[in-house]
Structure 1
Amino acid sequence: MTDGSEAAQQEEPQLTVGTLVFDTRKKVLGVVMDTEWDRLYLRPPTGGIEWDASRADLRPATVTDRLRPALAERNERSNWSTRWE
């Protein structure tokens, strides 16, 4: 028989260094660069300034999360080109 702590550990996703995550507070993707207690240090996937976030504000990135930035960029370019026609 297992106790509640084992079940909680199995359900909590492992957010290790190199994992692509979604910061629900800032609404951005980040790559885990380091961990310290319940804080994780993230950097944008394309590089940039690191920030820290609480583990409670993070979840593994979904396919939708991964595609959202590329789609937004594509839409912006599409809207920009139609302005000059």
Structure 2
Amino acid sequence: MADPDGTLPVGTLAYDTGRQRIGVVMEVYGSRYILRPVHGGCEWDVVREACRPATVGDQIAPGLAARNLRSSRGGL
């Protein structure tokens, strides 16, 4: 949930609409957020206008896409 001024607090799951990736807000720096992948990795920055709170759909989409790909190739 965003703060009253619209800023996403540190620790929030956020969706980067430009990169179509989910990350955890690690820092708010001026007009940008610093995000880190949920399971760790390299941080990246994104302008606030291209970032919003992550929905449940955003969170399950990558796993669902991978499962569908395996299924289409005959895997489980």
TM-score range, shorter chain: 0.7 to 0.9
Q: Which entry has the higher C-alpha Rg, 1 or 2? A: 1
Deviation at 1:79, TM superposition (A): 2.1
Question: For 1:1-85, what aligned pairs fall within 5 Å after superposition?
Answer: 10=4, 12=6, 14-81=7-74
SS of equivalent to 1:81: coil
Change (3 A) 1:53 1:73: same
TM-score (norm 1): 0.75
Distance 1:11 1:33, change over 3 A: closer
Unaligned 5+ residue runs, structure 2? Answer: none
**What TM-score does the superposition give when structure 2 sets the normalisation length?**
0.83
Q: Percent of aligned pairs with the same residue?
A: 47
Q: How large is the RMSD of aligned CA atoms in angstroms?
A: 1.8
Give SS of 1:77's match: helix
The structure with the greater share of residues assigned to helix is 1
SS at match of 1:17: coil
Structure 1 residues 28-71: Cα deviation after superposition (integer angstroms, max 9, x where no partner): 11111111111111011111111000011000011110110110
Unaligned runs of 5+ in 1: 1-8
